Structures are given as C-alpha cells and as structure tokens.
Amino acid sequence: MNKTDKILARLLELHPEKLIDLKLDRVERLLEALGRPQDHLPPIIHVAGTNGKGSTIAHLRAFLESAGKKVHVSTSPHLVRFAERIRLAGELVSERELSEVLQFCEERNKGLAITYFEITTAAAFYLFSRHSADYILLEVGLGGRFDATNVVDNPLGVIITPVSIDHTEFLGFDLASIAHEKAGILKSGAPAIVAFQPDAARRAIEKETEKLGVNAKYGGQDFDAYMQNGRLVYSDESGLLDLPPSRLVGKFQAQNAGVAIAACRYFSLPVSDKDIENGLRAVEWPGRLMALKSGKLCDILSPGQQLWLDGGHNEAAAKVLANSLGEMLVAKENIPLVLIFGAYANKDASGFLAHFKNIASKIITIPLAGDRESWDNFKLAEIARNQGFEASAQSDVMTGMHEARRTKNAFVVICGSLHLAGQALALNQTPLK
C-alpha cells in the first residue's frame, strides 16, 4: 500500500453514518477551508448521465487536445489506481502531488464527517487550481443535483448523457426521477447538450431546461451521429460531417462522439473539423469494450481465442454491449462467445444476462473482490442456467480464465462491473496512461 492508498483508507473512516447522504454542505465547508479553489478555475464543462459519461469526456478531451488546448479532467471511478481519476493539463496527477494534496485536505477537514467522494472532489478542485489549463471536463459522481461536483455555479456548458435505471436506492426507481436528479447540474445561462434519451427522461430534462431558461440542444432532434459504410456521420443545423470512426470500439461510440462534437459546436469551443478527425483517431478510454492483446491473462488463452473486457454494469450498458458483440461476431461464423461475469449485489444480474441469450455460448460466474457486497458466483450461475445458458461458477478471474480456455476459439469477454474490469487490467498488468 503506497502513501496515497494509506491516506484514502483513513478518509474512508470519516464517512457519515448514513451510507450515502446526498447534500453539499460538507464539501462546501471543506472548500471554504481550502480557500474556495472552485472560484479560481478555467472554464468547466460539467457532465452527468447514467451511461457514456467517460467515453463522451474522452472524446471531448481528444478534440480539445488535438486543437492544442490543455485540459484538466476529473472522472470516477478508477480502474486500477486512484490517480487515474485526475488529469492535470492532460497528464495523470503524480502520486507525490496527489498524496500531498489529499493529506492537506485531510488536515483542513479536521476530522469532521465527510464522504470519500466529497473530500476527493475537493482535492481535485484544489489540484486544478494549482495548474494552468484552458478547460476542465468534470464528471458527476452520483446523480447530479446533490453531487459534490455541483458546487460549480457557472459552467461553460452542461452535458447530459443517456439516462437509464441505475442507483435506484439513491436517485429514484423510475426514469423521470433519475433524470430529474441528473438535470440538477443545469444552470441558468449555461447551454446544455442532451444526448438521445428515453421519452420519460427527456420530458423530465426538458421540464428543467424550460424552468431555468437553458438553451438545450437534443440528440435526435438538433444533432445526430451514426455509423454509415464504416464512417462516422455527424449532422446538425450546419450540415453533415463525414468523419473517420472513433478509435473506441463499438457503433454506440458514434453517439458518444456525436455528443462531444455537438458540445464543441454549441459551446463555441476552438475546435476545427480537422481537430475532430484527429481526435477520433487518437481517443483513448480504457475498460470499455477493450481488447487485451498481451499480458498475464492473455497468456492463459488457447490458440485462436481473443480476450476483451467491458466495465458496463447496468441493463442499458448490457444491451449496448450485447449489440456490439453481436455485430462483431456476425462475420465470425461458429465463434463461441464466453462471458466471465461478476456483479455487485445491488445490480440486476438477471436483466444484464438476458441481453446475451442469443449470442453467448457460456457464462462463467465469479464473485467480486473488495469491501462491497457482490453476487454469489453460484447464485449467478443458477440465474444463468435458468435463462438457458451453460454456466460454471468459478472462484476468481484467474480460475474463470482457465475455465474459458476450454472453449475452442472462444471470444472471451470479462464484464459486469467496472471494478471487475479494473481487477482484470491489474492482473493482466496492462499499463494505463
């Protein structure tokens, strides 16, 4: 355990008695003690939503950096190291500076109750204030309205990515309630880009934009993006852009890229069409439909097998993943798909697996390591069998890989949790930069 991990472990002990207590007074109190760093930052683009936040931010960062701009980024959660959450002018924060600032925040907090995400968000703002940049891309942690990032009063613009059912115990049990919470980051005077949404979510977001007088542009109405003949086509009121496909795998990434392109245009960012082309070729976002080409896990594969992973953890993400895998496998006749699947106990495992009924040959279930409660691997295997899958319960990723090795020429996908994706990357010793 390094110095940063030791500090983070201490910060967890400051957590309020309530599991997640969504309000802003604790983070505002700490930010005051830190000298209100949020008031001394470059223009902020604030991003909420259920799915696609990270990929949209990755595209937007790639476009801005292709235009020669310096970009701070805050995203969560991380895959392997906490430092992945914070980029300063394009570079991951150093462990030395991160531990220094976390310790400073811990001291300024004076032992008062505060959540892990609140104190680390305050640390990110403080880090941003110490380094120059042209823009900040800021991802919401949970919800929006009472998320710690929502201390930002005057963002340059707001993005709401697709909303679906997730975190119901905190945000509500229907799309309208969840979208209402996500729309809580909207600010009067700040334009908004809203990705294509289910009807109930869109109506809830429209209600908020109308109440605040926000100039919002909607996917499927004001702009669109889709794949056609291997090219990414973007359209808005200014016409069409014929672009190369995103470097990120999956047709669904066209929509995430489209939201980022719309943000460039409607937020008047200094990004040219050529910058967008270059950004699409350069974009990186680990853990999302990601091919692993070499490493410790890849060494377990038998000849002819491929290994992929994906961190999607809700039913909407499962649908997108299943569609993408179906498209990838359609040209590979008789190639079996094997899932190595694990999920947290608060996730709809049955709903997730249902999307793979017509494409997966076998489900290998594993428990998730860590402090949070996960689905029992034997119970997951039972759920899979009840849906008609061949299933095998294994103890961890490594034993799951050895089980997958038995299926000749298999397309092996580790999925169900971002935590699981991070664990797999760590085991594979895949470098993240």
Coil, helix or strand at residue 177: helix
Q: How many C-beta atoms lie closer than 10 Å to residue 206's C-beta?
A: 17
Report how far residue 144's alpha carbon sits from residue 163's, in angstroms, rounded to the nearest whole number.
12
* 348-380 pLDDT, tens digit each: 999 999 999 989 999 999 999 887 899 999 999
Going 386 to 317 to 75 to 17, the CA torsion angle's sign is negative
The answer to whether 80 and 432 are in contact (CB under 8 A) is yes
Cα separations (Å) of 355 from 315, 336, 350, 400?
A: 8, 16, 9, 21
Report how far residue 120's alpha carbon sits from residue 102's, in angstroms, rounded to the nearest whole number.
7
Section 269-282 average pLDDT: 99
**Average of per-residue pLDDT values in the chain:** 94
pLDDT for res 370: 81
Report how far residue 314's alpha carbon sits from residue 415's, in angstroms, rounded to the nearest whole number.
11
| Helix axis angle, 397-404 to 418-428, nearest 10° | 80
Q: Which residues of 121-145 are buried (b: 16+ CB within 10 A; e: fewer)?
A: bbbbbbbbbeeebbbbbbbbbbbbb
* 166-212 pLDDT, tens digit each: 655 555 568 999 999 999 999 999 999 999 999 999 999 999 999 99
> What radius of gyration, in Å, describes the C-alpha atoms of the chain?
21
Domain ranges within the chain, ordered by starting residue: 3-282, 290-428
Tokens 């993408």 map to which residue? 324
The answer to whether 328 and 308 are in contact (CB under 8 A) is no
Report how far residue 219's alpha carbon sits from residue 419's, in angstroms, rounded to the nearest whole number.
30
pLDDT at 43 over 90: yes
Give strand pairing partners of 411. 306, 337
Nearest alpha-carbon partner for 63 in 246, 192, 220, 233: 246
pLDDT for res 120: 97
Nearest alpha-carbon partner for 193 in 241, 262, 257, 265: 262
- Name the least confident of 73-87, 158-172, 226-240: 158-172
Q: Per the structure block, which two tokens stand in for 404?
A: 């997958």
Report how far residue 175's alpha carbon sits from residue 202's, in angstroms, rounded to the nearest whole number.
9
pTM: 0.94
Coil, helix or strand at residue 130: coil
Helical (H) or strand (E) element with 224: strand 223-228
* 322-355 pLDDT, tens digit each: 999 998 887 677 799 999 999 999 899 999 999 9
pLDDT for res 165: 74
pLDDT for res 166: 63
Specify the fold of 290-428: Protein-Tyrosine Phosphatase; Chain A (3.90.190)
Residue 180: Cβ-neighbour burial (10 angstroms; 0-12, 13-18, 19+): buried
The answer to whether 367 and 374 are in contact (CB under 8 A) is yes
* 88-98 pLDDT, tens digit each: 999 999 999 99
Section 251-271 average pLDDT: 97
Tokens 């939503």 map to which residue? 49
Residues 6+ apart with CB under 8 A from 178: 50, 143, 163, 164, 165, 166, 167, 168, 171, 172, 201
* 283-304 pLDDT, tens digit each: 999 999 999 999 999 999 999 9
Indicate the pLDDT class of residue 17, thresholds 50, 70 and 90: low
Report how far residue 373's alpha carbon sits from residue 215's, in angstroms, rounded to the nearest whole number.
42
Q: Does domain 3-282 have CATH number 3.40.50.2300?
A: no
Give strand pairing partners of 160. 48, 194
pLDDT for res 167: 57
The answer to whether 170 and 211 are in contact (CB under 8 A) is no
pLDDT for res 233: 98
**Strand-strand pairing, 192-194 and 135-139:** unpaired
Give strand pairing partners of 359. none
